[in-house]
């Protein structure tokens, strides 16, 4: 499959293409998804999706997640920004990646697929000789935090009022995965 990042146990992660814009519009206009990703006050239309997810100057690797042949979600991975290096307390000599993801097909929630996805993406990033991976989930998102902990991420520090979500600056946790390889 063209643009494939990895495939394992029914899960395929492949690069985003223009044909995927309608999937993102569907998922990012669903209030159940937006409650955890972006906020219910920010439903996406096609113009928002094209502007944000299809920026040619972007250095993020943006992908669609497929499970047993069904497109179910989205993941992006990237080297963190200069501002994030400073906020998170890392030296720019260290290669640090971030990742964000969601399962947009809610009937696939709570089945262990998120854990499978996180483990697969971590394995892929580590294969790129990256030893530190960070995420910044909101402190109230306990389901996601449990998933990340199962995958080897550890809570490092509180990021007060770190992310704008549904009209409020929300606290987030800086969580970190460190590879021993």
What pLDDT does 133 receive? 98
At residue 168 the predicted structure's pLDDT band, cuts being 50, 70 and 90, is very high
**pTM given for the model:** 0.94
What pLDDT does 71 receive? 98
Which CATH number, 3.90.1150.10, 3.40.630.30, 1.10.10.10, 1.10.10.60, labels domain 4-178? Answer: 3.40.630.30
71-80 average pLDDT score: 97
What pLDDT does 1 receive? 59
What residue ranges do the domains of the chain occupy?
A: 4-178
% pLDDT > 90, the chain: 93
For residue 2, is pLDDT > 70? Answer: no
At residue 59 the predicted structure's pLDDT band, cuts being 50, 70 and 90, is confident
For residue 76, is pLDDT > 70? Answer: yes
At residue 56 the predicted structure's pLDDT band, cuts being 50, 70 and 90, is confident
For residue 57, is pLDDT > 70? Answer: no
For residue 136, is pLDDT > 80? Answer: yes
Q: What per-residue string of b and e applies to 85-104 under the rule 16 or more CB within 10 Å gives b? A: beebebeeeeebbbbebbbb
**Distance of alpha carbon 62 from alpha carbon 50, whole angstroms:** 13
**Distance of alpha carbon 39 from alpha carbon 98, whole angstroms:** 20
Listed in order, strand segments (DSSP E) in the chain are 4-8, 11-15, 61-67, 70-79, 96-103, 132-135, 154-165, 168-178
Asked if residues 74 and 102 have their Cβ atoms less than 8 Å apart, the reply is yes
What pLDDT does 180 receive? 86
DSSP state, 14?
Answer: E
Calculate the average pLDDT of the chain: 95
Q: What is the pLDDT of residues 20-49, one digit of tens each?
A: 999 999 999 999 999 999 999 999 999 999
What pLDDT does 95 receive? 95
């Amino acid at each position: 499959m063209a643009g494939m990042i990895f495939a394992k146990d029914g899960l395929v992660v492949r690069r985003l293409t223009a044909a995927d814009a309608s999937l993102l519009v569907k998922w990012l206009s669903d209030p159940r998804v937006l409650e955890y990703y972006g906020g219910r006050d920010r439903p996406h239309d096609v113009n928002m999706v094209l502007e944000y997810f299809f920026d040619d100057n972007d250095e993020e690797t943006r992908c669609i997640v497929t499970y047993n042949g069904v497109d179910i979600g989205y993941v992006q991975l990237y080297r963190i920004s200069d501002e994030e290096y400073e906020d998170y307390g890392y030296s720019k000599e260290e290669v640090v990646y971030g990742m964000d993801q969601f399962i947009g097909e809610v009937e696939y929630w709570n089945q262990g697929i998120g854990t499978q996805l996180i483990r697969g993406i971590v394995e892929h990033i580590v294969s790129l000789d990256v030893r530190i991976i960070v995420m910044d989930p909101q402190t109230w998102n306990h389901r996601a935090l449990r998933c990340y902990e199962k995958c080897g991420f550890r809570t490092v520090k509180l990021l007060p009022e770190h992310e704008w979500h549904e009209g409020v600056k929300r606290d987030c946790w800086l969580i970190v995965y460190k590879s021993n390889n």
